[in-house]
Amino acid sequence: MRKVILIFGCSLFTTAILAQSDSASFTIPRTIVKISPLQFLVRTFELGIERFNPTYSRSFNVAAGVRTGSDDYEKGLGGGVELAYRKYVAPMKFRSRNSRDSYQ
């Protein structure tokens, strides 16, 4: 019985040592790679990169897509490039609701 209590006590001690702190350590990266899955419906693979400024109030987006075939076009092959500069009304802020951390 003593062995069981000792093992149980040691496991509680290690859990307390390895537990994460309650501070907001979640951060959003400044560069995000995005894939548009809905583009697969029209046989297009689109990949984009979005880069935010340090305050997350503006971003620059570059996306490129390759179309492999479609009935709406003659040959159905092609590609496209999208450049976007976005300015947000309010910058992203850290939110914690119901123990879920996110940027909004």
Q: What is the pLDDT of residue 6?
A: 62
> Helix, strand or coil for residue 42?
helix
Residue whose C-alpha is closest to residue 57's, from 80, 91, 26, 16: 91
Give the tens place of pLDDT for each residue, 31-44: 888 888 887 777 78
Q: Which stretches in the chain have pLDDT values below 70?
A: 1, 4-26, 70-76
